Amino acid sequence: MKHQDNSNDWFNVICNKTVNGQKVPFLNINGTDLQILDFDFFKGIVMVNHPITYFNCRKNHHNGISLNLIGTRFYYSDSDNIFWSSGCGNLVTVFGNEMDNVISGCLQPSCRFNNKASSIVGCRVNIPQGLSSFYVNMSSMVDSIDYKREISCGFASMISSDYHLTSELEDIDISNRRHIPTQLQWGTPISGVCQLNDGLDTSCTFDGEYCWSRLSSIHLYACNRNINADLTLCEGMRKKFDKKEVEQFINEVIILSQINHRNVVKLLGCCLDAEVPLLVYEFIPNGTLYDLIHDQNEGLPLTWEMRLRIAIEIANALFYLHSVASAPIYHRDIKSSNILLDEKYRAKVSDFGTSRSVALEQTHLTTRVQGTFGYMDPEYFRSSQFTEKSDVYSFGVVLTELLTGQKPISVQQSESVRSLVSYFLHSMQENSLFNILDPMVVKDGSEKEIIVVALLAKRCLHFNGKKRPTMKQVAMELELIKASGGNVIEDRGDEESEIDDMIHSLETNPSSSMSRTITTDSVTFPLNSSF
């Protein structure tokens, strides 16, 4: 390894032998060798085995100081990592490059709920963009019952979000781990049509598929030549097809080239050799959420756990589109048939033909009304103004489908129950929710979780869009419901009283359609202290 005295040296890869004799690649960053686990040139990220930042269990201990990336070409990816801490009853604080700069934190759930040991094992926080070092502190919260309690066994570190998603980290014994997969980024990709310059500063792979040009000492122009050629050809097709289809075709290419999220389908390219132009996506083998809900089979029961996880994945994707993407994106056609399911039945939002990017200061799009009947925001239908809350309404319909197993519009039903939204809201009003739930939900789900999710769906379906939650709030509340088992309820006044009323009905009316024995003790927990 050469001394890192110029910009290229940060990217030198060392091949070292492991204890079993295999050669594996490493990066050396400020004297620390980091094993390379994965690499994505076009996203500008590398996954490395990163030292655990904070660990306080038995004899093992890590002091809370992260790897120092200051002065290097790398920083911690804010879009591909999460900051996760495990433990209970601890206050986790994350400081930035300076010790007096608090950048985030979270309060782990109490170690006991209803005088029983808690099954919740931690909390997560989001991280700012461009973070190059940080310090973690974990302290015990004073408990009125045992105020001298020492800090519980705790772990905290930056973790690749893909790894956290697939490994269910909270179920893994990390007592013997010293490293955890983490994503480092060296630049921010900007999507667009590539036009490489000829000359010595342009290089290509041997097959000519990938090329790159140096624009400056810190800017690299990179593209896949095959996909790039397809994108430039798209503009010459209006001549061949009618206008609306071409607009949607080009629009989907443009929108998806801006998106990078694990719960949004990936566009690989487009095929123009066929009679009708085709978009080429990643292979998604398990059909749509619509088929999974409405054509259930005994071989793959759609459990409550699956329903809640899928709802969280869709919500996270929409939160990303609305609030995290470089420019806010309104999907405009959220429905269960546009949610694809991969090999592990993880949700992938698809079909961006009618989606639109909006300027940061814009609050709505005024457009000709289009969408799918049964999922369409009635406020948008009335005003022709599509807002981010219109996507929230459509998500509320999907959430109601997951709860009830029924279709948004059913021509077989009588007039009064033909619209699922109307039927659902009426059942909530009449306190007969459990009459319309999918039998699998009733059999498999926790009453408290079901009630809180149903109330969230009700808020998403509010006739007044301003009174609906944002997708950020929806995603965070669903994560909190999953983590707490429905015991942790955000303090929101009237709605909490409504939850208490529904639970009271479960207890006191044995003949009620919702009658099953449950524990009624609940804990009020401010939402913003859990993430």
Tokens of 337: 């048939």
Render 114-161 in DSSP notation, one character per residue: TTEE----EEEE---TT----EEEEEEPP-SS-TTPPPPSEEEEEEEH
Distance CA 164, CA 158 (A): 10
Strand bridging mode 523-524 / 385-386: unpaired
446-482 confidence digits (pLDDT tens): 999 999 999 999 999 999 999 999 999 999 999 999 9
Residues 6+ apart with CB under 8 A from 350: 264, 265, 281, 284, 338, 339, 340
Q: How many residues does the chain have?
A: 531
Tokens of 432: 């007969």
Distance CA 136, CA 95 (A): 6
Contact 308, 314 (CB under 8 A): no
Tokens of 146: 């045992």
Residue 493 confidence (pLDDT): 45
Query: Catalytic pick from 80, 230, 333, 377?
Result: 333
Residues of the chain short of pLDDT 50, as ranges, are 1-5, 119, 143-149, 165-171, 228-237, 239-240, 490-493, 496-497, 500, 503-504, 506-507, 510-531
CA 501 to chain centre: 32
DSSP state letter for 302? -
Give, to the nearest 10 degrees, the angle between helix 447-460 and helix 388-404.
150
Residue 170 confidence (pLDDT): 47
From residue 219, give the alpha-carbon distance in Å to each of 72, 194, 224. 15, 14, 17
242 in catalytic set = no
Delineate the domains of the chain, giving CATH numbers in brackets. Answer: 11-143+150-165+172-185 (no CATH), 188-238 (no CATH), 244-484 (1.10.510.10)
Q: Count the helix, strand and coil residues of the chain and give each as a percent rounded to the nearest 5.
A: 30, 25, 45
Mean pLDDT over each residue of the chain, to the nearest integer: 75
Distance CA 408, CA 293 (A): 12
Residue 225 confidence (pLDDT): 56
Residue 189 confidence (pLDDT): 67
pLDDT above 90 covers a percentage of the chain that reads: 28
Angle at 252 between CA 314 and CA 43, to 5 degrees: 70
Mapping DSSP onto H, E and C, the string for 39-96 reads EECCCCEEEEEEECCEEEECCEEEECECCCCCCCCCEECCCCEEEEEECCCEEEEEEC
Tokens of 462: 């509010």
Distance CA 134, CA 131 (A): 8
Residue 101 confidence (pLDDT): 72
393-411 confidence digits (pLDDT tens): 999 999 999 999 999 987 5
